[in-house]
Amino acid sequence: MYQHKGRSFGSHSSSRFTRGPRRFPAKNFSRAGGRFATPRIDVSRYINKNITPGKAPEPFVAQNSFSDFAISEKLKANIVAKGYPSPTPIQDKAIPVVLQGADVLGIANTGTGKTAAFLIPLVDKVVRDPKELALIVVPTRELALQIDDELRGFARGLGIHSVVCVGGASLTQQMRNLRYHNNFIIGTPGRLKDLIDRRALNLAHFKTAVLDEADRMLDMGFVRDMRAMMAQMPKEKQTLFFSATISSDIEALVADFLRAPVRISVTTGTTAKNIEQDIVRVAPGHNKLDILHDMLKAPEYERVLIFGRTKHGVERLAQTLAGRGLRSISIHGNKSQPQRQRALDDFKNNRATILVATDVAARGLDVNNITHVINYDIPATHEDYIHRIGRTGRGNKKGKALTFVE
C-alpha cells in the first residue's frame, strides 16, 4: 500500500495502486492485427528501494583539484565562478588524459559530469591555439544546447565562439553562422551531415572530435552519418568517445575511430545508487490519471519529470494536468525548437514544476534538483528506462523514480 503523508490511497484488497515486485503483462506497443501484443515484463527491475543499505559508501576523494590542472588561469576562474567545488570521478580521471592529447574512451553513468570532463581541457586547448577547431556530435537537440550553455560558462571572456547545428532550427541561420570563425561546432548527426552536403561545413581542419552518448546515436541509426563525418576529418586528430554502455557495436566504432585510446570507466552499476525506484500499480477499475494527480499534489513532488510514450499523449497529459491547476508543460517532437527551449527554461526556472516529455528528453536534459521521474508509460527498453531515471539523483543528490504498471 502506498501512502502520502498519512493519506492512504486504498487497501490491499481494493487499492487504487500498490507497490511491489511480481511479473506483470505490460503492453508492448507494436501492433499485430490492430491489437497490442502483451509480452511479460519483469517489473522488479523497476524496484530498488534500499538506497542506503548497511554502511554508507566511502565518499569519493579526487586525486586532483581544478587548480592542479595545467590549464589557463582564466579558465580556472570560470570553473570557480560556475560553482564547481572539486572534480567528479570522470573529470578527475579524464581531464589530465585529454590535456595530454590522447584519445579517450569514457564509460560513465548519466549525471556524472562528463560534459565538463571534455569541455574543460578542450577550452584550454583553444586558449593555447585560437585556430583550434573542435566538432562535438550528440544524439539530440537538447543535449547540444546543454553542452553549448555549459561551454559558454567555461569560455566566458576567453574570446571563444561556438555554433549549434541541430534540426528544428533555421538551416539558413546556421549556414550564416558557420561563415564566421567558430572554435566549437556542436550538433546532431543529421543536421551536420546536411550542412556538410551543402558545403556550409568543412571538417578538413578539425583536429578534435567528441562523440558524446555514442550508444544512443547508434540506437537512433546515426552510425552511417557518424562514419561519414569522421572520414572527412584529418587522420591525425584527437577523438573523445563517451558512452553509458559498451556493446560489440560500440567496440567496433571505437576500433575504427580511436587510436590507442585510454579507457576510463567510472560506472557504478546500471542505475545510480542514490535513485530510489519503485512501481505504481494501478488496480483494475481505477483511473491512472487520478492517481497521478493525487501524487503530484503531495508537497515532496517539487520538480517532476514525467515520461509518456507518444507526442500526442504527452501533450494531452500536460494540458490535462495544467487544467487541474498544476504547473505543467510539455516537450516533444511536434514542438518547434524555440517552443522546446521555452519549455525547458520554464522548467529550469521553476515557472513550471512538472515537465511531461517523450524520450527525446531522456538524454541530454540537465536540470538541477529534479526530485522525481515518473514513467507514466512503460519505456520501450530497459536502456531507455536507465536513461529516463538518470535525470534525477544527479551528482550526490537523491531522487525517486516511479513506474506505472496496469
Measured CA distances, 197 to 106, 221, 232, 233 (Å) = 30, 19, 12, 14
Phi first, then psi, for residue 403 (nearest 5°) are: -120, 125
Q: Where in 21-64 does DSSP place strands (E)?
A: 23-24, 28-32, 35-37, 41-42
Q: Where in 216-364 does DSSP place strands (E)?
A: 238-243, 262-265, 275-282, 304-307, 328-331, 354-357
Per-residue pLDDT of the chain (406 residues; tens, 9 = 90+): 343 333 333 333 333 444 443 333 333 333 333 333 333 456 667 777 654 444 444 566 778 899 999 999 999 999 999 988 889 899 999 999 999 999 999 988 667 789 999 999 999 999 999 999 999 999 988 889 999 999 999 999 999 999 999 988 899 999 999 999 999 999 999 999 999 999 999 999 999 999 998 988 887 889 999 999 999 999 999 999 998 878 888 899 999 999 999 999 886 544 556 888 999 988 888 899 999 999 999 999 999 999 999 999 999 999 999 999 999 999 988 888 788 889 989 999 999 999 999 987 656 677 888 999 999 999 887 778 887 888 888 766 789 999 998 8
Q: How many residues in the chain?
A: 406
User: Which CATH number, 1.20.1300.10, 3.40.50.2020, 3.40.50.300, 3.30.70.100, labels domain 66-265?
Assistant: 3.40.50.300
Angstrom distance (rounded) from CA 275 to CA 390: 8
Quote the pLDDT of residue 168.
83
Phi first, then psi, for residue 18 (nearest 5°) are: -130, 170
- The β-bridge relationship of strands 372-375 and 304-307 is parallel
Question: Which residue bears the cell 552518448?
Answer: 213
Quote the pLDDT of residue 219.
79
Distance of CA 235 to the CA centre of its chain: 30
Quote the pLDDT of residue 387.
79
CB–CB of 213/148 below 8 Å?
Answer: no
Give me the residue spans of the domains in the chain.
3-54+273-405, 66-265
Quote the pLDDT of residue 41.
54
CATH code for 3-54+273-405? 3.40.50.300
Quote the pLDDT of residue 50.
52
Q: Calculate the CA dihedral of residues 14, 17, 20, 22 and round it to 10 degrees.
A: 80
Cα Rg, the chain, nearest whole Å:
22
- Reduced to 3 states (helix: H, G, I; strand: E, B; else coil), residue 320 is helix
Quote the pLDDT of residue 266.
81
Angstrom distance (rounded) from CA 306 to CA 372: 8
